[in-house]
Every structure is written in C-alpha cells, then in structure tokens.
Chains A and B, each alone.
Chain A
Amino acid sequence: TQLLEQSPQFLSIQEGENLTVYCNSSSVFSSLQWYRQEPGEGPVLLVTVVTGGEVKKLKRLTFQFGDARKDSSLHITAAQPGDTGLYLCAGVSNSNSGYALNFGKGTSLLVTP
C-alpha cells in the first residue's frame, strides 16, 4: 500500500485568501485524483492528473502533478465559504493488486465569511 501524506491536516482561513494544500508520496503513481468531501457525504471527484508536470484548472482551483509523479498540489484562489470541506488526494498504481485507489487522510478546510 502506497502511503499518501497530505498537509496541512487542518486549515482555517478567511474568505478571499489563497491557499495551497499538498499531497506527497515516496511512490510513483500512474495518475492522481483529488476529491472533495462534505460532512455525511461521499467524496466527489474534482480532477484527475496523469502526466508528470501537468497543471489543470477548475475555476479558482489549480491542480499540479509533480514531474516525478510522486506528489501533487491544490491551490485555491480567493477562497469562498462554499470551498469548505475535506480535500482528499488518491493515487492509482498499476500494481498486481489492481487499480484500487489509495487515499491520503485529507486536508480539512474551513473558510469563514
């Protein structure tokens, strides 16, 4: 099982601020996904990154996959209260164990008005 470490674990900011959360591993992934989860609900897929160095933008969210495909970051510009939630990264590896995702513990984000 590949270990994915996310940082920070908790983040509390005010509306309008920018933030970056990180996802790191010692393993190489064929792809990496970011999900957002709200309390009492299942995670919702935000983006999949596949190519080392890839950058994807989703409105105010910018996702980057590290050149070596071992790490990723999520940057949010001008955070809004609606961005509040648990942000999870998950890696896919083409091991003999199949294609099950391994999740990090998540970054819990609180954006206050």
Chain B
Amino acid sequence: DTGVSQDPRHKITKRGQNVTFRCDPISEHNRLYWYRQTLGQGPEFLTYFQNEAQLEKSRLLSDRFSAERPKGSFSTLEIQRTEQGDSAMYLCASSHTGAARGYTFGSGTRLTVV
C-alpha cells in the first residue's frame, strides 16, 4: 500500500470556478477525513466518512462545499464558485475505526484562487 494519495497536488483556479479534489485512502482504513489548513494554522476539520456514510460536517463546510465517498473507497471534495478565501491546503487522512490509533495523511492539495 502506498499510503494516502491526493490528486492534484496543486490547483490554481479563477474565482467563481468549480474545483474537485480526489483522495485515495489506505485500502483497509474505513474512515476518511478532510481537513483544511491555512498558513500558520493547524489543520481544521471539514468532514469525515465511515465507509460511504458521511457522519459529520463542520460549520466550515459551507453550501459551496460537498464531499462524497460513493463506494466507501476513494473520496472527492468539490468546491463550487470558489472564493479567494478558499485558498488553502486541503488534506485528506484515513484511519481505522476510531481516531485514537492515529491518522495517515496524504500530501495534500494546495488550492490557490486568483
């Protein structure tokens, strides 16, 4: 297993455009998480899935954000009508049931909205 993969690594988009990011977790992990990290901050929780069910969403996840994990494997995070404030590193992580055993993070997708 090659760990958690995220694609693309970098994305530059114009304000108002839609973007979609993909995350492929470690295959035996049933939990998948999305976090957002801005400069000088720790990762901020966005949402998480157990298998294909989205169990929690943060207040940070506005109506413009949507995440899916259709078959309980890979996940996508879509941002519609991007704004400059959406510029950040979007991190995906996976874990076994229960975060207490630790997350494995991907390398992230760096989004820049111009």
Contact = CB atoms under 8 A, between A and B. Distances in A.
Interface of A: 4, 30-31, 33, 35, 40-45, 48, 50, 88, 90, 92, 97-106
Contacts of A50: 100
Given A41-B107, A41-B108, A42-B105, A103 B43 contact: yes
Contacts of A98: 48, 55-56
A88 B56 contact: no
B106 interface: yes
Contact of B42 (A31, A42, A92, A106): A106
Contacts of B4: 42
A101 B40 contact: no
A33 B108 CA distance: 20
A31 B35 CA distance: 19
Interface residues of B, number: 27
Given A102-B45, A106-B42, A33 B102 contact: yes
Contact of A92 (B93, B100, B107): B100
Interface string B25-52: 0000001010100001111110010000
24 contacts: A31-B100, A40-B107, A40-B108, A40-B110, A42-B105, A42-B107, A42-B108, A43-B43, A43-B103, A45-B103, A48-B100, A48-B101, A90-B42, A92-B100, A97-B56, A98-B48, A98-B55, A99-B98, A100-B33, A101-B33, A102-B45, A103-B42, A105-B42, A106-B42
Contacts of B111: none
Contacts of A103: 35, 42-44
A99 B105 CA distance: 16
